[in-house]
Amino acid sequence: MNAPNPAAPQAGSAPRLALFDLDNTLLPIDSDYEWARFLIRLGLVDEAEYERRNDVFFQQYKDGTLDIHQFLEFQLAPLAAHPRAQLDAWHAQFMREVIAPQIRPSARELVDSHRQRGDLCAIVTATNAFVTGPIAHAFGIEHLIATTPEAIDGRFTGRSVGVASFREGKVTRTEQWLAELGQPWNTFGRSYFYSDSANDLPLLERVSDPVATNPDPRLAAHADAKGWPILRLFE
C-alpha cells in the first residue's frame, strides 16, 4: 500500500506535523547498531565483548524487551572516553563511509514531500543526538527529538539527561518540543508519524495519520488490523 499523499494545505488551513523515525524507517539500517560496529572497526572498543552486547541489545529492541537505561549505559560509555573534537572527526568519517551511502532517494522524496508542503517536520528517534544530529541535517530536517547525552564542559559523561526518546518517551518528548514551540497537538489539522517498529506504537497511536514504514512483523500485523497504510520505502 502507498503512503498518504495529501494535497498542499489551502491558505488559512491548520498547519500539519510530520514526524519520522530514523533507523530502518528513513534509513535501511540502524544507525545506533552501525555506530557500534564502526567503533569496533576503528579498534576503539573490545571487539568480541562489544559485538556480543551490541547484538543482544539489538535483538531485545526487535523483540520489544529492551531496557532503555541499560542500553544507554552501554551506548554512551564510549562517548565519555574521548574528547569531543576527536568524536566529531570520527563521526564525520562515519557519515561518509556508513550513512551517506544508505540515504536513498525514496526516503529523501518522502521527507521533501512534507517539507515542500510546509509541514512542521522532525525526526523522533531513540538513538542519541550525537549520532543522529548530522543524519537529520543530511535529510534537511531542522528538528531532532532524540535521547540526549549529558555533557559537562563540552565533554560527554556517558550518561543521558531528560526523558529517553523511546516508546512512551517519544510521546512525552514530542509534546515537550511542541510546547516549547508554542504549537500543541490541537493546533495541527493533521499529524503524521512514519515508523518501522512496534516499539513506536504509543506515538503511532497519538497522531492522526500513522504510517507503518518498512514495518517489523509485529507492527505490520498491527497496521493490518487497524487499517493503517503500509509504506515500503526500500523495495
Q: Is 67 a catalytic residue?
A: no
Residue 151 to residues 37, 39, 126, 158, Cα–Cα distance (Å): 23, 20, 18, 8
- Among the residues of the chain, which ranges form H helices? 31-41, 47-63, 68-80, 84-94, 105-116, 129-138, 168-181, 201-206, 217-226
* Catalytic residue from among 23, 196, 200, 216: 23
Q: How far is CA 195 from the centre of its chain?
A: 9
87 closest CA partner among 50, 128, 122, 59: 128
- Kindly report the number of other CB atoms within 10 A of residue 56's CB atom: 13
Residue 24 to residues 13, 32, 74, 154, Cα–Cα distance (Å): 32, 11, 21, 31
Specify which residues 234 forms β-bridges with.
none
* Catalytic residue from among 21, 30, 209, 216: 21
Q: Is 30 a catalytic residue?
A: no
Number of residues that this document lists for the chain: 235
> What cell was used for 32?
545506533
Per-residue burial over 84-95, b if 16 or more Cβ lie within 10 Å, else e, is eeebeebbeebb
Q: DSSP class of residue 96? A: I
CA–CA dist 12, 234 (Å, integer): 35
User: Which active-site residues does the annotation give?
Assistant: 21, 23
